[in-house]
Amino acid sequence: MRSILRGNLIQAPALGQLDCLPGGCLLLEDGVVRGVVPTPPEGWQEVPVTDYGNRLILQGFVDAHLHGPQYPMLGTAMDLPLLEWLERYAFPTEARFADPDYARAVYRALAADLAAHGTTRVVMFSSLHTDATLILMEELARAGLWGYVGKVNMDRNGGKNLQEDTEDSKRETLRWLEQCGVFAPQIRPILTPRFTPSCTDGLMAWLGALARERDLPVQSHLSENTGEIAWVRELHPGCAEYWESYAKFGLWNGRTAMAHCVHSSARERQAMREAGVLAVHCPDSNINLCSGVAPVRRMLDEGVSVALGSDIAAGACLGMLEVMSQTVRASKARSLLTDGADRPLTAAEAYYLGTTAGQRFFGVGAGFAAGERLHAVVVDDNALGPASGLTLPQRLERAIYRAGQAEICAVWAGGRQIGGQRGFL
Ligand code: GUN
Ligand code: FE
């Protein structure tokens, strides 16, 4: 069935490029984008139109790094750096997901919250618990979201409450992969060694082989904090740099997403570029845990792929518009730290990073990609101040800095409306 969405269309096909079409039409056929045009073409004149009037129609937001089981601690526990924070707050919070009923309640609320904030695709960590991970996948699918979800592997340094035996970790990973196929293609599995300190060499090697055999993507953390980096050096004296502790086990390729990369050296960044590894920048988390300020402009200039993540609950903001404004602010801190050498990012660039750059990890083209199911967020910026006299790029900038959940009035994911006038799930 054909349909048309009309409104002020704003897409970011490339870094720094905004394509704006005031009062434009998104042509849909069974939820798949057929074109972005100023007026309905031949054969589309009789097609039903959903008219969003003067509102902004943005691309769906991609949260390329977040931890589902940390949702209960969102906005708390901000007083420690990474390694202490994990032990004191994150691990005990995640340990509660051994209880499937608890997991169900939390994950249902999280999925609804993500949709209400305009996040339509996620690349997400669950906990080490297989059943809770399957529940997370089910709840995301039920809410209409799309994404990759990983059962976390951790067979060392998790304390007594959040650690698996190596053999259990392997067995449970296989059980999870067997059972999660029912959620594809909407929600798909991604292998998730938590980070090098959490996984023995044996488990890492097994995961690398599994990724290759089954052609699975991989996510983990990289060079987030100086204490973490020193620890990895102790654990892997044969590796000159942190990334090598993934690469040597086959966990470093064009389907790998690495969160943070705050302290990545020039050589580590080069290894990312050469392998096509995605760096996921999580600006709020990096400040909250005092991790540092990531050199995002430098990475982009060097040709490294960068997307954005909320990294809840080290990050306190679930909404990607807020993560985009945090990205611009962090880039200014970086500019100050480098005496202007690292130029700040613009709002338009942050919008690209939070949309098209994340879509690429899903193999989806730029902007409202033709031939793909529609992912879109409709923003009513009326209450943010008078729009008269503002251009569409200015209105996008203001939405990035000022819009919240209240301004998001409709969300489309996978070609269907998942929230909006009829309420969010
Ligand atoms: N490194 C390993 N685990 C985590 C986590 O849960 N959050 C963050 N920010 N970094 C990590
Ligand atoms: Fe993280």
Whether residue 95 sits in one domain with residue 51: no
Write out the residue range of the structural domain in which residue 180 sits: 61-354
- Side-chain-side CA neighbours of 314 within 13 Å: the count stands at 33
**Residue 35 CA, ligand 2 centroid: distance in Å:** 36
Same domain, 97 and 214: yes
Minimum-distance ligand 1 atom for the alpha carbon of 314: 9
Residue 332 sits in a domain whose CATH number is: 3.20.20.140
**Among 97, 125, 219, 221, which is best to mutate for testing ligand 1, by the most ligand atoms less than 8 A from CB?**
221
From the CA of 83, which ligand is nearest?
Answer: 1
Output the pLDDT for position 321.
Answer: 98
Query: What confidence tens digit (pLDDT) does each residue in 347-359 have?
Result: 999 999 999 999 9
Instruction: Name the residue type at position 134.
Output: L
Last residue of a domain, one of 331, 354, 377: 354
On average, the pLDDT of the chain sits at 97
Say whether both 339 and 377 belong to one domain: no
- Residue with the smallest CA separation from ligand 1 atom 3 is 194
Query: Given ligand 1 and candidates 220, 224, 258, 260, which is best to mutate, with the most ligand atoms within 8 Å of its CB?
Result: 224
Domain-embedded: residue 424: no
pLDDT score for 421:
57
What pLDDT does residue 386 have?
82
Q: Which atom of ligand 1 is nearest to the CA of 315?
A: 9
Strands of the sheet containing 2-14, edge to edge, are: 32-37, 17-29, 2-14, 49-59, 376-379, 408-413, 416-419
Which of 386, 367, 368 lies closest to 54 in space, CA to CA? 386
Check pLDDT > 80 for residue 160: yes
Distance in Å, CA 130 to ligand 2 centroid: 19
Which ligand is the nearest neighbour of the Cα of 259? 2
Domain boundary among 354, 383, 409: 354
**95 and 214 share one domain:** yes
Looking at the fold, whether 159 and 44 belong to one and the same domain comes out as: no
Alpha-carbon span 93 to 70, nearest angstrom: 6
Q: Confidence band (pLDDT; 50, 70, 90) for 130?
A: very high
3-state secondary structure of 127: coil
In a domain, 189, yes or no: yes
Q: Which ligand is closest to the CA of 195, given by its number?
A: 1
Residues 160 and 12 in one domain: no
205: confidence class by pLDDT, cuts 50, 70, 90: very high
pLDDT band per the 50, 70, 90 thresholds, residue 220: very high
Atom number, ligand 1, closest to the C-alpha of residue 311? 9
Alpha helices in 263-319 (DSSP H): 266-275, 283-288, 296-302
Per-residue confidence (pLDDT) for residue 354, from 0 to 100? 98
Whether 219 and 167 share a structural domain:
yes
Of 74, 156, 192, 195, the one to substitute when testing ligand 1's pocket (max ligand atoms within 8 A of C-beta) is: 195
Domain containing 14 — which CATH number? 2.30.40.10
- C-alpha 94 to ligand 1 mean position (Å): 12
What pLDDT was estimated at residue 159? 86
> Domain for residue 360, yes or no?
no
| Ligand 1, atom nearest to 221 Cα | 1
Residue 18 burial (CB count, 10 A)? 21
How many degrees, rounded to 5, is the angle at CA 356 between CA 419 and CA 387? 60
Give 185's contacts (C-beta < 8 A, 6+ positions apart). Answer: none
**Cα(175) to centroid of ligand 2, in Å?**
24
Mean pLDDT for 121-135 is 98
Same domain, 228 and 346: yes
- Protein residue closest via CA to atom 11 of ligand 1: 221
Q: Rounded to 5, what percent of the chain is helix, strand, coil?
A: 40, 25, 35
Within 13 Å, how many C-alpha atoms sit on residue 260's CB side? 29
Ligand at minimal distance from the CA of 198 is 1
Check if the beta carbon of residue 62 is closer than 8 Å to that of residue 354: yes
What confidence score (pLDDT) does residue 387 get? 75
Q: Which atom of ligand 1 is nearest to the CA of 282?
A: 9
pTM over 0.75, yes/no:
yes
Which ligand has the minimum distance to the alpha carbon of residue 154? 1
Number of domains in the chain: 2
Q: Are strands 416-419 and 408-413 parallel, antiparallel or unpaired?
A: antiparallel
Token reading at 412? 């489309």
Measured in Å, residue 313 CA sits from the centre of ligand 1 at 9
Q: Which residue ranges have their beta carbon within 6 Å of ligand 1?
A: 67, 82, 86, 90, 194-195, 221, 224, 285, 311, 314
- Would the pLDDT of 423 be above 70? no
* One domain, residues 69 and 119: yes
Is residue 319 assigned to a domain?
yes
40 Cβ neighbours under 8 A, 6+ residues apart: 4, 25, 27, 47, 49
- Note the pLDDT tens digit of each residue in 65-94: 999 999 999 999 999 999 999 999 999 999
Q: Do 212 and 290 fall within a single domain?
A: yes
**Do the domain assignments include residue 398?**
yes
How far is ligand 2, taken at its centre, from the CA of residue 292, in Å?
A: 14
Average pLDDT over residues 24-34: 98
359 inside domain: no
Structure tokens, 392: 């569409």
Q: Is residue 253, in this structure, part of any structural domain at all?
A: yes
Q: Extract the tokens encoding 87.
A: 């032990």
Q: Are residues 219 and 129 part of one domain?
A: yes
Comparing C-alpha atoms, which of 384, 324, 329, 362 is closest to residue 56?
384
Spatial contact of 368 and 59, defined as CB atoms under 8 Å apart: yes
Q: What would the mean pLDDT of 134-149 be, rounded to a whole number?
A: 98
pLDDT at 29: 98
**Domain for residue 425, yes or no?**
no
